[in-house]
Amino acid sequence: MSKEYFVAVSGQPNCGKSTMFNALTGSTARVGNYPGITVDRTEGRYCSTEFCANLVDLPGTYSLTSYSMEEVVARDVIVDEKPDVVINMLDATSLERSLYLAIQFMEIGVPVVLGLNMMDEVRKKGIRIDSHKLSELMGVPVVECVARKGVGKDELMASVKKVVDETQGKWTPVNISYGHDLDPVIDEMTAMIKKAEFMTDRYDPHWLAVKYLEEDEIVMKNGSKAGPLAAQLVKKVAEVSAHIQKTLNTYPEAVLADYRYGFINSILKQGVISREDNLRFDFSDKIDLVLTHKFLGPLIMFSVMYAMFYITFNIGAIPQGWVENGFGWLSDTIAAILPDGLLKSMLVSGVIDGVGAVMGFTPLILIMFAMLVFLEDLGYMARVSYMVDRVFRMFGLHGMSIMPFIMSGGLPGGCAVPGVMTCRTLRSPKERIATILTAPFMICGAKTTAYLMLVGAFYPENATTVMFFLVLLSWLLALCVGRLLRWTALRGESTPFVMELPPYRIPTLHGIAIHTWDRVWQYIKKAGTVILAISVLMWALMTFPQLPNDRIATYDTQRTQIIHESESWVGTNQEKQIKLDKALSQISYNQGEAALKNSYAGQLSDAISPVTNIAGFPWQANIAFIGAFAAKEVFVSTMSTAYSLGDEDPDNALSLSEKIAADKAWTTPVIWSVFVFLMVYVPCMVTVAVIIRETNWKWGLFSVFGSLGFGFGLSVIIYQVGTLLC
């Protein structure tokens, strides 16, 4: 076991590349991120009796241009990390397109092994592929595979070993002919590059010349820093480009692509494929006739989403209950062990309750992601975005944006945390960020509780209608803000919708398990770090400063007094006891309210009241809003504390509703001002943490302050205009 091989596994999306990667690496696969971006980097090991190899799974790409993050990453790994071999998995059912990526690897010069995947499907279709002939013509090993069954994995690695033994680390770039218009120019540029040693430490000169002709943004940007030759190359390209546009009415880039496909075709036509399968209808097309049907399609789509939603929040509620019970037990145990005091209060209210509330979502996220990964691997998600793209495009979003909205509470009761994480399926940065920023407007489970309490208080007659209206409002706001963002901060062309509708394929359990667990684990790590810190901070804000001793003494005096008085009350002992308990708890509630008003959170509420008065928020709502940043559930519990009910059980909100309904401060404009603010004002801290994870600090802050400003603006308008009208 002398040498550790370094092997990159690549392929176009949906070619079964990751399935093969999982088959090769088994349980050794672990997922990280490429530094600074959210593209997953999966690594694993393969060992045979003869050698061991470290494998890295490159992101699925159709090509190696610098169009998307995935392509750049795939290319950089090849160029910078110099793998010994690239295993290029191909979907043998669409061989022509699949070879396009392979050709580009060969142009860079990295040794390639081709894995012809899905050979079982190919045979079923009655197509014959001569893999020996293909191997001969391409000059690289070709291995027939069925990744789902693990067929061909050891042959692939045997080929890897053979290639490494033969090449000894030497790269030989393949130069294909680009025709009489471009070839002379490429030769000329290659010579110039060689002579000036222009970036030759990193790239092959010929490849570099081709990239200049393709006007590859990243190569050109690096080039302009590398030396004066860059300007000459750019000039050269401009000349050729002008010539080609005049004579052929096209672009060098298009000519390059045409010749690559021409090269592929010339190989395939030499008896590699026995029968063309071009336009044959297959099984997937038949399913699509139903699933993307004009009427049935949307109907099925909504049913599937409703089912996912239902399963997540009903079945998921069971394990969620276990997790919550577990934390409840932990909190009770610690409360019983430790003496009363700050340490206990911090551990119980700050640490355990805070982290517990977040961890309670873990089962939901696990279930939701498992289903999403399933639907995505199955090929259904591509259909959904295909169907809704037209509508979402009007709002500057992409068809793929629908899933995050649904998950975040587009059907009330979702959660923005998995919703935002779902945005990973969106490949274009601008539309993705616009979706990430607006998805938290949806009515998540926590907001649902708060709305049920408020709507129950103010509109007991029309609760359902008002709730329905609120849901519509959240969609409307999210879509409109999406449109607004795409006109302003996230201005730019909409991303092309040129995408593949992959054939329906039942995903492997192993693949689903790996993908799901990876995301869930990242969520758990977050809960253990950032969220722990913030929840301790929130606890401190609502606890300190404590009431001064003399004020505590006042309440103690009241208690002694009432106990003393109770002796002279009339009635049976039992009646007296009930009356006494009620009086005592009233005092405790008063004390709680006083403590809350006295705390930093309370003082903060007082301090900001001149501002929030413009929007008409009652002080109780003020403080509840501050607390609800930690988790929206806190809105209800803080309101109940603030209304001196003490009963912090959100399920028992009826009496709270009555109390609020009786409060004269809540006029109709105030109610709607609070409704809208609660919907929009900031995502909860868990969501913010996830937004930062999925984008960066800048967008996290923008999400907090942008939605705060937007929500406040709306509330002010509603309150001020509403008050004028009423």
Partner 1 sequence: MPVTLRSMKKDQKGVVVAVNASGELGRRIRDMGLVPGTEFMVVGRAPLKDPVALRMKGFTLTLRNNEADFITVTPED
Eight-class DSSP state of 315: I
Choosing from 354, 356, 503, 700, the residue that interacts with partner 1 (CB under 8 A) is 503
Residue closer to partner 1, measured from CB, 252 or 413 = 252
The DSSP bridge pattern shows strands 4-11 and 52-57 to be parallel
Residue 121 exposed, middle or buried by CB count within 10 Å (0-12, 13-18, 19+):
middle
Can you read off the two tokens belonging to residue 510? 């192993």
Shortest Å distance, C-beta 403 to partner 1: 16
Under the criterion CB under 8 A, does residue 254 sit at the interface with partner 1?
yes
Shortest Å distance, C-beta 501 to partner 1: 4
| Stretch touching partner 1 by CB under 8 A, among 31-39, 88-96, 561-569, 600-608 | 88-96
What gap in Å lies between CA 219 and CA 90, rounded to an integer? Answer: 27
Could you identify the residue written with the tokens 């390639």? Answer: 112
Residue type, 174: V
Residue closer to partner 1, measured from CB, 285 or 649 = 285
What gap in Å lies between CA 398 and CA 404, rounded to an integer? Answer: 11
Residue closer to partner 1, measured from CB, 168 or 249 = 249
Under the criterion CB under 8 A, does residue 54 sit at the interface with partner 1?
no
Under the criterion CB under 8 A, does residue 502 sit at the interface with partner 1?
yes
Q: What is the separation, in whole angstroms, between the first and last Cα of the chain?
A: 84
Residue closer to partner 1, measured from CB, 93 or 543 = 93
Paired strand residues for 10: 88
What gap in Å lies between CA 357 and CA 686, rounded to an integer? Answer: 10
Choosing from 261, 555, 619, 702, the residue that interacts with partner 1 (CB under 8 A) is 261
Beta strands in 164-220 (DSSP E): none
Residues 6+ apart with CB under 8 A from 358: 527, 531, 535, 631, 686
Residue closer to partner 1, measured from CB, 96 or 181 = 96
Please list every residue from 276 through 295 that binds partner 1, using CB under 8 A.
Answer: 277-279, 281, 284-285, 288-289, 292-295
| Stretch touching partner 1 by CB under 8 A, among 252-260, 327-335, 584-592, 704-712 | 252-260
Residue closer to partner 1, measured from CB, 503 or 616 = 503
Shortest Å distance, C-beta 216 to partner 1: 10
Are 634 and 581 contacting, i.e. CB atoms less than 8 angstroms apart? Answer: no
Residue closer to partner 1, measured from CB, 354 or 503 = 503
Under the criterion CB under 8 A, does residue 70 sit at the interface with partner 1?
no
Residue closer to partner 1, measured from CB, 167 or 494 = 494
Choosing from 42, 93, 312, 622, the residue that interacts with partner 1 (CB under 8 A) is 93
Residue closer to partner 1, measured from CB, 89 or 595 = 89
Residue 329, Cβ neighbours under 10 Å: how many? 10
Choosing from 1, 318, 336, 498, the residue that interacts with partner 1 (CB under 8 A) is 498
Residue closer to partner 1, measured from CB, 399 or 410 = 399
| Stretch touching partner 1 by CB under 8 A, among 32-40, 107-115, 137-145, 274-282 | 274-282
Residue closer to partner 1, measured from CB, 447 or 486 = 486
What gap in Å lies between CA 719 and CA 246, rounded to an integer? Answer: 63
Residue 43, Cβ neighbours under 10 Å: how many? 15
Residues 6+ apart with CB under 8 A from 321: none
Please list every residue from 376 through 435 that binds partner 1, using CB under 8 A.
Answer: 382, 386-387, 389-391, 393, 399
Length of the chain: 726
Can you read off the two tokens belonging to residue 722? 């509403």
Under the criterion CB under 8 A, does residue 83 sit at the interface with partner 1?
no
Are 355 and 532 contacting, i.e. CB atoms less than 8 angstroms apart? Answer: yes
Choosing from 250, 325, 546, 652, the residue that interacts with partner 1 (CB under 8 A) is 250
Q: How far is CA 396 from CA 190, 383, 481, 491, in A?
A: 43, 19, 10, 9
Choosing from 96, 130, 136, 155, the residue that interacts with partner 1 (CB under 8 A) is 96
H helices of 109-148, in order, are 119-124, 131-138
DSSP string, 609-654: HHHHHHHT--HHHHHHHHHHTT-TTHHHHHHHHHTT-----GGG-H
Choosing from 120, 130, 324, 500, the residue that interacts with partner 1 (CB under 8 A) is 500
Under the criterion CB under 8 A, does residue 114 sit at the interface with partner 1?
no
Under the criterion CB under 8 A, does residue 247 sit at the interface with partner 1?
no
What gap in Å lies between CA 73 and CA 67, rounded to an integer? Answer: 11
Residue 140 exposed, middle or buried by CB count within 10 Å (0-12, 13-18, 19+):
buried
Choosing from 501, 537, 540, 608, the residue that interacts with partner 1 (CB under 8 A) is 501
Under the criterion CB under 8 A, does residue 242 sit at the interface with partner 1?
no
Under the criterion CB under 8 A, does residue 246 sit at the interface with partner 1?
no
Residue closer to partner 1, measured from CB, 318 or 498 = 498
Provide the binding-site residues for partner 1, judged by CB under 8 A.
62-63, 65, 67, 91, 93-97, 100, 249-251, 253-254, 257-258, 261, 277-279, 281, 284-285, 288-289, 292-295, 297-298, 382, 386-387, 389-391, 393, 399, 493, 496-503
